[in-house]
Amino acid sequence: MNLDNFPRYPLGHWPTPLEPMKRLQASLNAPSLYIKRDDCTGLATGGSKTRKLEFLVADALKHGADTLLTHGAVQSNHVRQTAAAAARAGLRCEAILENRVSNPPAEYKQSGNVFLDWLLDAKLHEVPGGTAMDEALEALASRLREQGRKPYVISGGGSNPLGSLGYVMCVLELVKQCESMGLKKPHLVLATGSAGTHAGLLAGVHALGLGWPITGVGVRASKEIQEARVHNLANRTLELMGKKPDLPAQKVVADDRFIGPGYGLATETMVEAVKMLARNEGILMDPVYTGKGMAGMIAMIRSGEFFKSDENIIFIHTGGAAALFGYRWVFDQAAA
Ligand SMILES: *Cc1c(COP(=O)(O)O)cnc(C)c1O
């Protein structure tokens, strides 16, 4: 299987490293633990969206676009990565930011990803939480078209079949890396949000017949809703690849026990996980996605029942540490 028929605009450093986490493994008395460093994709502090954007930006250029349009939460990593991709490709970027945190301190709206969006010259439009974001994005696209611009609309998180190919590409990297490191049948663990990362990994593993288990840890939607969304997108991604959309539903797992009060809102286990990774491995997680995904993985390891003792667990580090600067208050509260 290869993805050569799908043009990519080069944005990242590939392959990202696959590294052991020996100290975390020892402190949790865990099976073998590894981390796929997609926080190190090289684009403006990196992250998972770089993989998706290589396909999406190539498509935007093919369609003669002059502007990338997308949406996200205020501290969106996806918006920051899209702004950086636009800068690199010589396109403009406009983004609608949904304010989902009530009464945030100034740093939430000014620091972290928001500061980087500004530096990368994205034009930002803030809207209140609960706004119908896809509709708002279409309305903005129409306004820009009336002005003679040529916007290319990227859905939230870059999670459509074309963007999900980025995580099929990640599976191809992992196959080579696992082979050279002697890792048999790894168990992949990741944070799952707009579903493209999870769907791409499932589509790649299924298309190659690898049989690797994949456990998603939800950050927003309930288990039922997230699993249905991921399943649907994985099958549409398989179709785009010219494969049968026959991924069995039971392969799709999105645990919703670690979301806490809601998307982008802190939990104690997230704060603990972010601190553990920083202090045991010198690796920065983020408060919205990987911190909750890692909290889920840690709880599953502690339960002693979820992973087999001879299993090689690979956590997919999807990035996001830039958001830490917009969420410092959460950790201040935890330290107090
Ligand atoms: C977007 C994002 C995710 C979630 O990936 P989806 O493809 O949206 O499910 C996970 N981690 C980080 C850091 C992200 O920015």
Q: What is the pLDDT of residues 106-115, one digit of tens each?
A: 999 999 999 9
Q: Which residue in this structure is represented by tokens 């450093």?
A: 13
Token couple for 296: 């889920």
Ligand 1 atom at minimal distance to the Cα of residue 163: 7
Q: Whose CA is closest to 278, among 14, 27, 12, 101? A: 27
Tokens 């950086």: give the residue.
84
Q: Where are the domains of the chain?
A: 18-47+159-335, 49-158
Sign of the torsion angle spanned by Cα atoms 124, 127, 128, 131: negative
C-alpha 135/C-alpha 130 separation (Å) is 12
Are the folds of 18-47+159-335 and 49-158 the same? yes
pLDDT digit string, tens, across residues 274-328: 999 999 999 999 999 999 999 999 999 999 989 999 999 999 999 999 999 999 9
Q: What is the dihedral of CA 207, 209, 215, 217, to 10 degrees?
A: 0
- CA count, 13 A, side-chain hemisphere, 103: 0
- Of ligand 1's listed atoms, the one at least distance from the Cα of 194 is 8
Residue appearing with tokens 């539903």: 249
Q: Nearest C-alpha to atom 1 of ligand 1 is from which residue? A: 157
- As a CATH number, domain 49-158 is 3.40.50.1100
187-206 confidence digits (pLDDT tens):
999 999 999 999 999 999 99
Q: In angstroms, what is the span from residue 318 Cα to ligand 1's centroid?
A: 6
- Give residue 230 CA to ligand 1 midpoint distance, Å: 13
What number does the ligand 1 atom closest to the CA of 191 have?
10
The residues carrying an active-site annotation are 76
The arrangement of secondary structure in 18-47+159-335, i.e. its CATH architecture, is: 3-Layer(aba) Sandwich (3.40)
For 308-328, letters b (16+ CB in 10 Å) and e give eeebbbbbbbbbbbbbbbbbe
* pTM of the shown model: 0.98
Pairing, β 214-218 against β 32-37: unpaired
